[in-house]
């Protein structure tokens, strides 16, 4: 089964980037904006890519390989779950959603290929999440459309944590031993210090 045709990419461009001097989506690596790097990572593994962003930056995003969509108004500012739900509510729905946050510039397409293979070969699974050094990586993962009502419910309960979702759906966790990926691929650039350490 070729899940690529049934999978949409979701780049979570985020909101305020409070720990960075400017919005992280516009930080650069090798002369390329972080958000464009994220789109390029997902594009080979999926049928299409949505760039989900807060209205404050949505008008500044431009990528011919992706469709820019704004967070649903009633859940703006409620974190990554809101971004995923926004993508799942778009006019072009998919069966699976490959999610990446824009501050993971070292992420590789091959990792999503592995996650899609796991989804295709595991009956009934609703989420496929990497585990790196015993830390779950829910913002570099796959989510089935059946997660949509669960996300809606947990957000209505005031729960914004990705773990609120994972605790309520059938989740397959894949460790680096079976995934054979490099922990470096999952580094988040959250602060200017991270940027100086890993990129400059």
Confirm whether residue 179 is marked as ligand binding: no
> 28-29 and 32-33 as β-strands: parallel, antiparallel, unpaired?
antiparallel
Rounded to 10 deg, the angle between the 109-120 and 34-42 helix axes is 40
- Gap between the Cα atoms of 84 and 90, Å rounded: 10
Phi, psi (5° rounding) for residue 113? -60, -45
> 96-101 and 171-175 as β-strands: parallel, antiparallel, unpaired?
unpaired
Confirm whether residue 83 is marked as ligand binding: no
Confirm whether residue 24 is marked as ligand binding: yes
Element (H, E) at 70: strand 67-70
- Gap between the Cα atoms of 76 and 173, Å rounded: 29
Confirm whether residue 103 is marked as ligand binding: yes
User: What counts of helices (H) and strands (E) characterise the chain?
Assistant: 8, 10
Confirm whether residue 50 is marked as ligand binding: no
* Token representation of residue 186: 């999952």
Confirm whether residue 43 is marked as ligand binding: no
Question: Which residue positions form the known binding site?
Answer: 12-14, 24, 71, 103
Binding-site annotation, residues for GTP: 12-14, 24, 71, 103
Q: Which residues are annotated as a binding site for Mg(2+)?
A: 103
């Amino acid at each position: 089964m070729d899940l690529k045709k049934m999978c949409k990419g979701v780049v979570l461009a985020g909101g305020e980037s409070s720990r960075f001097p400017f919005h992280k989506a516009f930080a650069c690596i090798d002369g390329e904006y972080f958000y464009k790097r994220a789109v390029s990572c997902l594009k080979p593994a999926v049928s299409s890519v949505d760039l989900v962003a807060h209205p404050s930056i949505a008008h500044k995003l431009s990528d011919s390989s992706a469709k820019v969509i704004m967070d649903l108004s009633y859940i703006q500012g409620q974190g990554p779950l809101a971004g995923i739900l926004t993508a799942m509510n778009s006019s072009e729905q998919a069966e699976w959603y490959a999610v990446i946050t824009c501050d993971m510039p070292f992420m590789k397409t091959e990792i999503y290929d592995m996650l899609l293979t796991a989804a295709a070969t595991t009956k009934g699974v609703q989420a496929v999440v990497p585990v790196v050094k015993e830390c779950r990586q829910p913002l570099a993962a796959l989510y089935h459309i059946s997660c949509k009502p669960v996300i809606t419910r947990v957000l209505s309960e005031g729960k914004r944590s990705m773990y609120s979702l994972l605790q309520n759906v059938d989740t397959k966790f894949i460790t680096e031993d079976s995934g054979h990926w490099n922990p470096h691929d999952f580094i988040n650039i959250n602060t200017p210090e991270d940027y100086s350490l890993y990129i400059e």
